[in-house]
Structure 1
Amino acid sequence: MRSSRAETPGGPDAGTGFIVLAAYQPDPELFARQVRSIREQTITDWRCIITADGGPEGVVDLLREAVGDDSRFEVAGYEERLGFYGNFERGLRSVPSDAAWVALSDQDDYWLPTKLATMIPHLTEVAAVAAQARVVRYPSGDVVSETTGRRDVPIDDYILNNQYTGGMMLFRAEVLETALPFPRLPTPAEVHDHWLAVVAHFRGGARVIPDIVQDYVQHDGNVIGEARSERFNPFRSWQTVKRIVGRYEASLSPRAVARVTYNVGVGWREAMMLALGARLPLDTPDLARVLALYGPNRRFWRTLRATVRAARRGDVSPRSLVEYFAGWVLGGVFRLRSRG
């Protein structure tokens, strides 16, 4: 039972799904277009909870201008700003336990009218499904890519190289029984979609489908956005590390750089494994194997062999492989590994 989650007054009717849209100072045009695309879904039995990070002022007015008095939409405003990770978690706590399904939404994308109708049937076979999007530049409308190219790969591989993007995901409400509360590790790798997909595997399976169901809009305000390339670029990676270190550490000292590199790669995976190990029976299928690869008692050569094989299959990008083991090596040099 999810006793820590808020109950929605009145509860949903049988078959009602819940869409959680995390908002923070949304662009008015993009926000209006997104909520209208939700309104126009061919599946109509749903409620949309919009969690306004940093307060509801402005979001309520934008919503009213976009969809009028459509009672399926509601805004939950929070004065305390938590960032997208904590804001999605707050919204998911509001989803009742008997919800038929749960979808996540960004504030600035665009859903095709048949998105929900395309994805919901898969939940009869798996606990979570993710689809593809067309990548579009705003405001020019230029198509960056006709597809996001996410792949349906084994759990061992998407723990290292996430294939699930929140705004393209839909899952059974029961996933939240294990997923909440979210694990915590202050690092840019701490993302809700990765965690939810990993949990979903152990609650009935997760799947990536090839269908294009939306536009994934890229603009200057994206928190994460779509990576331009999976090819490893040492200069770009170093620039990224410096930017991240400046956010999470007080200096650019070698130890600070090592700690951030370690947490982004190794630390976040370990945080997920620790949460899974504490919340699931240890005889859960596949759990012992992924704990051995990425958990606190992982061993370097065992994990390296498994991930190199995945890279050769094309299931893990070279960049993800290099960044993960760079963090592992730096963690060893600076004695950052405290568990196992």
Structure 2
Amino acid sequence: MSGGLRHGWTTGACATAATTAAYTALLTGSFPDPVEIVLPRGQRPAFALATEAILPGERAARAGVVKDAGDDPDVTHGALVSATVRHGEPGTGVTFRAGPGVGTVTKPGLPLEVGEPAINPVPRQMMREHVELVAAQHGGGGDVIVEISIDDGEKLALRTWNPRLGILGGLSVLGTTGIVVPYSCSAWIDSIRRGIDVARAAGHRHVAACTGSTSESVAARLYGLPDDALLDMGDFAGAVLKYLRRHPIDRLTVAGGIGKLSKLADGHLDLHSGRSQVSMEALAELAREAGGTAELAGRVLLANTALGALHLCQEAGLPLGDLVAGRAKTAAEGVLRGAPVQVDVIVIDRAGTLVGRAP
């Protein structure tokens, strides 16, 4: 457990459990329930089946598991993940297909070829290993077609990065450990990395990492960037910068509100309100450096928010937004450590008005 929060299971683990149950039934006529699987790190969870069916007309069996993401706010929590398993041609091994609600890869840059179902490499390996185990236990050949489907997956996928990554028609089957750690944010960070991969593969030389939808629309409008050059960074500035350090793109625009970018300016790489705070002392110091009076600096120090500090400085004719953008640019370049990425920063207010820029 993490901080008293309950762990859950990835879609890859659920798909593996459903595949194991369905292939067992295809060979024996009966479904194991609960069905136990072995995760990559050796844990052996058991999953209750939510659905099961022998499909004699299709020479197939289908089993379904309801995904339990534990206490993580996962978009797929409660979704039914199903596997339909059919015999394949001898010697073909395990072939994967996207059923309803599972997406198909349409853009290069992902760890799967274009045209493949969006079932990631580790879940595929887990399913292959369990097909081999079931085949060994029950005298099967191990040559099967595995079709994974997720109820309402096409609708749920609209709330994920998938459309921007070029994964169309549904969700991805994900997971490297099989376990969802509550609030680990690993899925979001992984999506940021895949977004950079897709942008690079598409030949984009300029990407914008944005803290939210308002800053994203401003960056897209300013630079004419297509959807697959826009990175939904959220609070994870560090994830963007560290990945670009290893996989550079010519130009990066960092776009966000004055509050979050004040934190980046102060050296924070996680901009979440629970994990970093705006330093009013740093903003007051910037006001002084810009020529503000001691009285103004004192008012900035007592302001409730970075936006409030911005308004005070705007009234005094001081470019606090530009100063924050400059500091944020310097902080970003420090994380990039000389990687060949040209950085610029745009700062907006809540209405989407540009209030700061560097250079």
TM-score by length of 1: 0.31
Structure holding more strand per residue: 2
Structure 1 or 2, whichever has the larger Rg, is: 2
TM-score by length of 2: 0.30
- Identify which of structures 1 and 2 has the higher relative contact order when contacts are C-alpha pairs closer than 8 Å and 6+ apart: 1
